[in-house]
A and B are shown apart, each in its own frame.
Chain A
Amino acid sequence: SAVISQKPSRDICQRGTSLTIQCQVDSQVTMMFWYRQQPGQSLTLIATANQGSEATYESGFVIDKFPISRPNLTFSTLTVSNMSPEDSSIYLCSVEFLLRDRDQETQYFGPGTRLLVL
């Protein structure tokens, strides 16, 4: 397993500003992901953070709005740019890990960042 931390744990921001969320893992991992969970909803993948190259974004998410950095194998950041109240959500990072007994990959999640945009 991996220990994943996120900063900040929560924030209240004004519309039009930007917030950068940090995700730190205690071991080197190849795959890191960023998800959003809006109130009362399940998780939606924003993008895959690729080390050494540009992130891969899912449909409906663009780099200008959610720029992502992945400078090394233990760290990533997600920026929520030019925020509006619709960006109020929980943002979670995750890392892929291998379940060795059946050779399956799944993901561990960080504790999340709760964002409220006023």
Chain B
Amino acid sequence: RKEVEQDPGPFNVPEGATVAFNCTYSNSASQSFFWYRQDCRKEPKLLMSVYSSGNEDGRFTAQLNRASQYISLLIRDSKLSDSATYLCVVNMRNQGGKLIFGQGTELSVKP
């Protein structure tokens, strides 16, 4: 079993749609959680952290459920510019700050 697993993609949605990505992690010792965005042929960039209390940044909402070892990202009112691959990332602080990446979910927002 992979340490971090994400929904298989690609997700093809129309502009204005709401889309949700799910992610599960296997190591209960995982301590910090993030969503990164990677555009085609670019490096990953931090989108947002994920907290147990849930956090929102504009159209983006991230949620963490430690009991279920489950992370989610909700994008409301999708824009064409949201098209990218979204990476679920877990920080293993007890392993020297190692980041474990999910395989990524590709999102394509169409006009």
Contact = CB atoms under 8 A, between A and B. Distances in A.
Nearest to B99: A107
A105 B91 contact: yes
A31 B43 contact: no
Interface stretch (A37-45, A62-70, A71-79): A37-45
Interface size class of A (residues with CB under 8 A): 20 to 34
Contact of B49 (A48, A106, A111, A112): A106
Contact of B96 (A56, A92, A99, A108): A56
Chain A interface, >50% SS class: strand
B110 interface: no
A109 to B, nearest CB: 4
B104 A42 contact: yes
Interface centre among B42, B51, B98 (most CB of A within 10 A): B98
